[in-house]
C-alpha cells in the first residue's frame, strides 16, 4: 500500500498532469506553477541518463530551493511537505529535500531497494537532519544526497552525520553504523510518512 500511494505513476514513466499545473497556479500562483513545470521537464528529460547522473541532476535541482524551517514555512514544528508543496512554496526544511529527491528518483526508475531516507544527527549543527541515501548494490556503502552539501559523497566520508534510522516504501531500519542498518519493520510506523503519502496521492490524482 505504501508503494501504491507513493508512486501513482509507474517508475520509468514519469509525468505530471496539466490539471495539476492548473491547481498549483490557482492555489499558489503563476511562479509556483513555473517551478512545478520545471520539475516536470526534469522528469521528462532525465529518464534516459545513467543512474549516477540522475542522482546528480536531481540533487542539484532540489538543492536550489531555499532552506527555511517548518515553523517559518508552515507555522508548525514538524511538517513533511510533498515535492509539489515544496516547489510551490519555494522553500524547504531538511526532510522535504530528501523526500523530493526520493520520489523523483523513483519516478525516474531507480529501484526502491537502492534508496532510503535517513534520519541523522548533523553533528556540526547539533541538530536532527534528514538526507537521502543511495545503495549502488545491497552491500555497498551508500552515497549521501544532502541539502547541506552539494557534493554527493559516501556515507563513510560524512563523519559530520550520525545515522539514527532510515526508511523507504518497503521498510524501516535502525542504524548500526554509517554504512549498515538492521531492519526493524515497515515505514507505516511513521505517522508523518503516512500523512505525506495521503497528500501525495491526492495531488497526483488531480
Q: Going from the N-terminus, what domains does the chain have, and what CATH number goes with each?
A: 2-204 (3.10.620.30)
pLDDT, tens only, 117-146: 999 999 999 999 999 999 999 889 999 999
Checking if the pLDDT of 112 tops 80, the result is yes
| 69 within 8 A of 129, measured Cβ to Cβ | no
The grid cell for 61 is: 535541482
CA proximity to 83, closest of 97, 69, 64, 71: 97
How does the average pLDDT of the chain come out, rounded?
Answer: 86
> How does residue 176 score in pLDDT terms, banded at 50, 70 and 90?
low
E-assigned strand segments in 55-206: 115-122, 127-134, 143-146, 149-154, 161-167, 172-175, 181-185
pLDDT, tens only, 35-77: 999 999 999 999 999 999 999 999 999 999 999 999 999 999 9
pLDDT, tens only, 75-85: 999 999 999 99
CA proximity to 132, closest of 122, 150, 119, 123: 119
Confidence at residue 201, expressed as pLDDT on a 0 to 100 scale? 82
Checking if the pLDDT of 191 tops 70, the result is yes
The grid cell for 79 is: 511538517
> How does residue 188 score in pLDDT terms, banded at 50, 70 and 90?
low
Confidence at residue 200, expressed as pLDDT on a 0 to 100 scale? 82
Confidence at residue 194, expressed as pLDDT on a 0 to 100 scale? 78
Checking if the pLDDT of 170 tops 50, the result is yes
- Span 19-48, mean pLDDT? 96
What's the CA gap between 191 and 206, in Å, rounded?
24
**Percent of the chain, pLDDT > 90?**
69
pTM value is 0.85
Amino acid at each position: 500500500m505504501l508503494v501504491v500511494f507513493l508512486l501513482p505513476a509507474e517508475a520509468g514513466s514519469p509525468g505530471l498532469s496539466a490539471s495539476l499545473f492548473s491547481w498549483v497556479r490557482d492555489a499558489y500562483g503563476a511562479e509556483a506553477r513555473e517551478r512545478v513545470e520545471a520539475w516536470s521537464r526534469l522528469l521528462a528529460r532525465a529518464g534516459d541518463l545513467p543512474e549516477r547522473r540522475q542522482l546528480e541532476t536531481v540533487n542539484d535541482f532540489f538543492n536550489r530551493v531555499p532552506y527555511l524551517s517548518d515553523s517559518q514555512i508552515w507555522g508548525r514544528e514538524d511538517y513533511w511537505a510533498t515535492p509539489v508543496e515544496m516547489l510551490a512554496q519555494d522553500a524547504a526544511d531538511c526532510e522535504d529535500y530528501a523526500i523530493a529527491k526520493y520520489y523523483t528518483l523513483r519516478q525516474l526508475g531507480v529501484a526502491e531497494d537502492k534508496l532510503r531516507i535517513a534520519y541523522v544527527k548533523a553533528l556540526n549543527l547539533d541538530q536532527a537532519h534528514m538526507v537521502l541515501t543511495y545503495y549502488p548494490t545491497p552491500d555497498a556503502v551508500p552515497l549521501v544526497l544532502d541539502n547541506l552539501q552539494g557534493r554527493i559523497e559516501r556515507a563513510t566520508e560524512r563523519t559530520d552525520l550520525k545515522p539514527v534510522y532510515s526508511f523507504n516504501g518497503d521498510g524501516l531500519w535502525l542504524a548500526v553504523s554509517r554504512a549498515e542498518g538492521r531492519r526493524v519493520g515497515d515505514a507505516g510506523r511513521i505517522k508523518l510518512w503516512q500523512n505525506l503519502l495521503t497528500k501525495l496521492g491526492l495531488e497526483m490524482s488531480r
